[in-house]
Amino acid sequence: MKILVTGANGFIGSKIVKKLLDLHHDVIAVDLSNNLVDSRAIFIQDNIFSEDVNCFLRFGQPDVCLHLAWRDGFVHDSNAHLEDLPKHFYFLKNMIDSGVKHIAVMGSMHEVGYYEGAIDENTPCNPRSLYGISKDALRKALMVYCAKKEVNWQWLRAFYILGDEVNSKSVFAKIYQAAQKGEKRFPFVSGNNMYDFIHIEDLTDQIARCVCQDKILGIINCCSGNPMPLKNVAESFIKQHGLDIKLSYGEFPDRPYDSPCIYGDNSKIKQIMKGGKV
């Protein structure tokens, strides 16, 4: 299978490219740079927002378009989210109009907003950040357009990611980096909120196996399905990495759109992962 991956040089994208290659698929990796892209992939340096109506042909007529590219994903109130929203839609629209038959886009649990309990594909969304609002709007627009064009679509809703302290911009990476600088304390939130944490290796495996099949479509939670308190995970992270740093709880307020307990219903991803080789 030939799979196009946008944002291929990113924290998540580079790992998914490698996973897809390990699964013996052909990968066309698109980004502005390629220092992290596996050399086995066909790399195309390209601005996907050029509004080329023939981008499907330009990118080698892939079987699947996996769209990961996104600016400022860890800066939830960046204006870039709304500025780029129509560009994301028109890129995907042009891919569909010029011939692709399977579109997959990485979503986020932040598009749901404040919610308590398990999120499934029917959970109502009321996002409370520009990041969540933009992801929510893109998902709705894509769902309508793919139905109109009879194109397979998947919305891969990712949860909280663990496992890369160098290339990510997560709070765990910030703790790690502060400890490497010799800082002895790290200002933190209360840590009481419970989230669905997933290791980067598990996330990339789930995403890769999602896009390599077309039986299970729509919104798919890429998650563990098990909520854990943030403070427990952070303390375990510090211990696991032997960091000489202490968390200073309560110095930052919990964000108003963060639920006391939120996690993904993992029934669809479990079904995909049980499907064997893809």
- pLDDT, one tens digit per residue, over 193-242 is 999 999 999 999 999 999 999 999 999 999 999 999 999 999 999 999 99
pLDDT band at 166 (very low <50, low <70, confident <90, very high): low
Residue 277 has pLDDT above 80, yes or no: no
CATH of domain 2-161+196-226+264-273: 3.40.50.720
6, 68 Cβ separation under 8 angstroms:
yes
Structure tokens that stand for 21 in this block: 């290659």
Residue 58 has pLDDT above 80, yes or no: yes
195, 130 Cβ separation under 8 angstroms:
no
The predicted-structure confidence for 83-99, as pLDDT tens digits, reads as follows 999 999 999 999 999 99
The predicted-structure confidence for 181-195, as pLDDT tens digits, reads as follows 999 999 999 999 999
Q: Is 257 a catalytic residue?
A: no
Using alpha carbons, select from 114, 103, 202, 208 the residue that is nearest to residue 153.
103
DSSP state of 50: G
**pTM, to two decimals:** 0.92
Q: Give the pLDDT score at 206.
A: 98
Q: What are phi and psi of 43, to 5 degrees?
A: -95, 135
Torsion of CA 85, 121, 210, 105, to 10 degrees: 0
Catalytic residue among 131, 176, 195, 263: 131
User: Coil, strand, or helix at residue 94?
Assistant: helix
Between CA 277 and CA 137 the distance in angstroms is: 33
Q: Higher model confidence: residue 169 or residue 96?
A: 96
Between CA 211 and CA 3 the distance in angstroms is: 8
Between CA 103 and CA 49 the distance in angstroms is: 16
DSSP H stretches of helix in 118-257 = 130-149, 171-180, 200-211, 230-240
- Within the chain, all domains assigned CATH 3.40.50.720 are found at 2-161+196-226+264-273
